[in-house]
Every structure is written in structure tokens, then in C-alpha cells.
Amino acid sequence: MTSLVIAGGTVVDGTGSPGFVADVLVRDGRIAEIGTDLVGEDVLDATGCVVAPGFIDIHTHYDAQVFWDPSLTPSSFHGVTTVIAGNCGFSIAPTRPEHRDLIARTLENVEDMDVAALAAGVPWNFSTFPEYLQAVGELPLGLNFTAYIGHTALRLFVMGDDAYEREATSEEIAQMVVVLKEALDVGAAGFATSVAPTHRGVDGKPIPSRFANREELEALFNCVGEVGKGVVEVTPGEILPLADIYDLQIESGAPFTVTALLSTPTMTHRKFVELNRAGWERGAVVWPQVSPRPLSFAMSLAEPFTFNVNTVFAELMSGTLEERRSAYADHEWRDRAREVWSTGTFMVPRWETFEISECPADPSLEGRRVIDIAADRGSDPFDLILELALNESDLLLRVRCVVANDDPEEVALLISEDHCAFGLSDAGAHVGQLCDAPQATDLLGNWVRGRNVMTVEQAVHRLTKSQADLFNLVDRGELREGAWADIVVFDPATVAPGPIRRVADFPAGSERLTADQPDGVRHVLVNGTPIRRSGEQVDTSAGPGCIVEVGQRR
């Protein structure tokens, strides 16, 4: 099949211009013509639907999953046609053989990936970043793919185990720059790093990138600027405050994106907005990532991701389950944990958002708010959760909590803000705790149709051309003659994320949350090949996706 027509839809081309009724002719993977009464060997009906460029998800962690799930589900169900992995500095290349287990255990702690699934699913037929990208490119990719080279992997590759212990020497920094340049030259999306206090790796220790000094960070940022390709992605923290990022971007010349701009009850996000506006006014090109979805986690008390930011909880990350159980039962230990929360503002539990997701010992509690149960029992919410966990074998009480982004008015303000990029889907990470891969269908259903926060044209632009332009993805993100035919056809009257369900379909029987039943996503094409027709996924074993080309900045 060499030609295909998408007929009778409203073309929203990604530029932000008003939509118009037209046919789209696809030939040999690219858009051949946009017009009326076009003819092709195959026809997809788009009557009543929007015909848009495929969505580009700039914040995923599919680095490992791509090897056992090259269709990249559930993103591929929701109109996403291009993904960027390696965010937050957690790529799986470059990696020397002796550090494969260390990388896996780091991903276990920071991104909630199952070590058993990684061991069974990643072939490790690569060491360098070019070898990794080549290995991925040889897979039958269902979507287009590229990845950042991550700071944690880069430090381990150059410094060995010392990456988890100390600052780099000038010679080691120079070696990192050489490896980074090599990755950028073969098509890396850029360079990603994190100095966030939330990111603790093996044995609860700070991840390697948190040991970097300013000399190291500036050298790596400037390398991206000098090569003239790719984006710098930063998760800021104490050694790299948000305010400094704007100066560093101007110095390096590379575009930056920052994870993430989310609404919080303390309203600190308003200061971030003001900082970003001021930065752009003086010439900084920094794109904070925003999301239309609440940041929520369905975590077990065996691995309580949001609690582990608390240093008292972090002490348990290198221990056994029994040591964790003993700590939970100790009221003095509980008081120490409360003391840490009392002196901070970041990731402090908002008990009013907690509810019981899974409680095998007492299923009647499932779906109930923790503060309501605690009030009924005359208990403190923290004590209640720990006592319920202690009643479960392996501490497998699961609670759902909201961390941020649950104030609709503030979320509307953030997602409407200029010079912000839609990101933080985290697809491929925290798969047992959250599923935000349906970000695009959520935006279109709940915020465009449901709340009228922006027009369809504005939303499509933000999900497509704006993302492609940030990374300079060649011939992507726009419906125009000659561009690659990455296309999504959706019904604006019904598009929605659909339900989330828990399945056990990863290697080693590992569980994850998925969203495989979106509403209103009629057709999806990747490089001209349908991966979804008439609302149903189709066989992608031929691998229509590819390693996406990152162009030279103009």
C-alpha cells in the first residue's frame, strides 16, 4: 500500500491556524497533498473528526520498555506518534557491563521500575549511547523514538562507582563532554540531569548527578550549545536553583526545559510563572513542563515513593522488608518522620488527598478517604496507614495520594501559560503507581471540550509543532506537504482518556497500570502506516516507527 487518503475531516495542521475541511493524501510515508477530492489506494474516513499531527510526548521513560514493548503502550493508544525518553538524567546508556545492575537498581528507586522486569527484558546488546540508539532502531518500533543521554549513566560510565560518591575531576568532566558530544552527533535528544532531592538511587543514596558541581554542569550544558543540536532537560534542586537556570541557558545557547511547573497549595508555582516570564523577557529560552493531570501516586507501603523523600524513610531504602516493618511499628521512628515533615514544605503528605486503593485484609476500606477512616477510629492518618500496612503480608497496603496539580483553576492558568511545554507524562516509569500517558486525550477531552480553557487549534499546536520546534525534530509536528505522515484523527465530541486498569504483562510477570481504552481516537498513522484504524489498534509488527531525526539549530 503506497498511497492512502484521510477523507472528510477538519484539518488542524499544528501551526495554530484555524481548522479547515480537507482530505490528506499520504504517499510513501509522507504527506503528498492536502486538498479536496483526493484519491488513494486506501481510504480512512475522518467525517466529524479532527485530523491533526501525531502528538509528541517529550517526557517519557521508555528507555528499557522499548525492548519488550516496541509498540510503546499505552502512549500509542492515545495518538502519540513520537516519544522522547531518558528524562531526568535516567537513560540506560552509556552503561558498562559491570554497572548494568547498578543502573537497574537506580531505576528501581527513582522511577519505580521492577529490577526483575529489567533483567528479563533488556538484552544489554549495547554499551555506548550510539550502540543503544542503534539497538533501539533495529526493533520493530511502533512509534518514533529518541532519548536524552542521562547524567547518571554518563557519570557512571566515566567515573565508575565513584560517580555515587564525589565530584568529578577536570579530566573526568572533559571525558564526559566527549561522550556527550558523541551521543548528540548520532541523534540524542539532548542532555538530561536531575539534582532534585526526590531522586534517591541505590541504597537510598543521592543519585550520581546530585554530586556534580557547577563546573561539571556548565561544561555539559555548554557542550549541547556548542554542538548546536538537542535540548537540556533539568530537574532543579539545591545545587542548581531554578533562578540560576535562566542564566545558564543564556550562557550555553541551548534551549532548556525544566521539570516541572505544577500547582501546589503553597502557591509557589505562581513565583515560577513570574520567574519564567522575566527570563523570557531578557532572552532566556527555558520551557517549564506543565501537565493537565493531577500528580498522584498509588503507592504501596512496601515502596512508598512519595514518603521516601523524607530522610527518615530514605534510611529504610537499603534495608529489608522486615526492617521496614520494624520501623513502622516503632512510635519513636514515626515521631522522627513527623519531625522531618514539620520542618519542610516539599512533598509533605496532604492527608486529605489520601485514600485506600488496595487493602486485602479489609477490602471494605478500599475507596475510602484516610482522614475519614482515621476520624472514625480516633486515630492519626499517618498512624492509621502504618497500622493498616502492618496488618498486610509484605506491607502491601496500597494508598493513592495527590502530590500536586489538583486545583482546576490553577492548573488552567499553568497550561494556558506562554512558553510552557506539555510534559511529565512519565510514561514508562512509576508504572505500578501512576499512568499519565493519556495526557493528550485528557487535555483535549477535559480541558478543551470540558472546560474551554483553550481551542482545539491551540491545544493541537502545543502537543505537536511547539514540541517539534523545541527539539527541532525534522519534518515532524505539522501537517504540510512533504512532512512525515504522523497523523492522529480524533472525534472532538468524545475524545477522552478512558479507564486505567492494572495488568501483569511485563517481563517476569511484573504489574503495571495501563490505559488501553481511550475514547474518540479513531485513526493513528506513524510515517504513513496506520497503527490504529476505526478505534482499534492494528498489527505494528512491521515497525513503522524510527529513530527520529534531531536537526541542527538554525
Give the C-alpha separation, 203 to 314, whole Å: 8
Asked if 488 contacts 524 with a C-beta cutoff of 8 angstroms, the reply is: yes
Give the C-alpha separation, 262 to 285, whole Å: 19
Residue 147 burial class via C-beta count within 10 angstroms: exposed 0-12, middle 13-18, buried 19 and up: buried
Residues 507, 508, 514, 517, Cα dihedral to 10°: 70
Alpha carbon of residue 25 to chain centroid: 32
User: Degrees (nearest 5) of the Cα angle 102, 108, 114?
Assistant: 110
Residue 37 burial class via C-beta count within 10 angstroms: exposed 0-12, middle 13-18, buried 19 and up: exposed
Residue where the block lists cell 483553550: 454
Give the C-alpha separation, 142 to 521, whole Å: 17
Asked if 54 contacts 31 with a C-beta cutoff of 8 angstroms, the reply is: no
CB < 8 Å & 24+ apart, contacts of 2-5: 2/27, 2/28, 2/41, 3/27, 3/32, 3/40, 3/41, 3/42, 4/40, 4/41, 4/42, 4/43, 4/44, 4/525, 4/528, 4/530, 5/38, 5/39, 5/40, 5/42, 5/43, 5/44
Give the C-alpha separation, 294 to 263, whole Å: 9
Give the C-alpha separation, 91 to 86, whole Å: 4
pTM of the predicted protein model: 0.96
Look at residues 162, 258, 161, 163 and name the one whose alpha carbon lies nearest to residue 209. Answer: 163
Residues 476, 478, 479, 485, Cα dihedral to 10°: 20
Phi and psi at residue 141, to the nearest 5°: -65, 130
Q: What CA–CA distances, in Å, run from 427 to 31, 47, 61, 112, 535? A: 28, 31, 6, 12, 21
Task: Number of helices (H) and strands (E) in the chain: give both, helices first.
Answer: 18, 23
- Provide CATH code, domain 55-294+405-514: 3.20.20.140
Peptide bond into 208 cis (omega under 30): no
Where do the domains of the chain lie?
A: 55-294+405-514, 297-403
Show pLDDT as tens, one digit a residue, over the chain (554 residues).
Answer: 589 999 999 999 999 999 999 999 999 999 999 999 999 999 999 999 999 999 999 999 999 999 999 999 999 999 999 999 999 999 999 999 999 999 999 999 899 899 999 999 999 999 999 999 999 999 999 999 999 999 999 999 999 999 999 999 999 999 999 999 999 999 999 999 999 988 988 888 999 999 999 999 999 999 999 999 999 999 999 899 999 999 999 999 999 999 999 999 989 999 999 999 999 999 999 999 999 999 999 999 999 989 988 999 999 988 999 999 999 999 999 999 999 999 877 789 999 999 999 999 999 999 999 999 999 999 999 999 999 999 998 999 999 999 999 999 999 999 999 999 999 999 999 999 999 999 999 999 999 999 999 999 999 999 999 999 999 999 999 999 999 999 999 999 999 999 999 999 999 999 999 999 999 999 999 999 999 999 999 998 899 999 999 999 97
Strand residue runs (E) in 151-239: 190-194, 231-235
Give the C-alpha separation, 346 to 403, whole Å: 9
The SS3 of residue 458 is helix
Give the C-alpha separation, 526 to 541, whole Å: 13
Look at residues 508, 486, 537 and name the one whose alpha carbon lies nearest to residue 6. Answer: 486
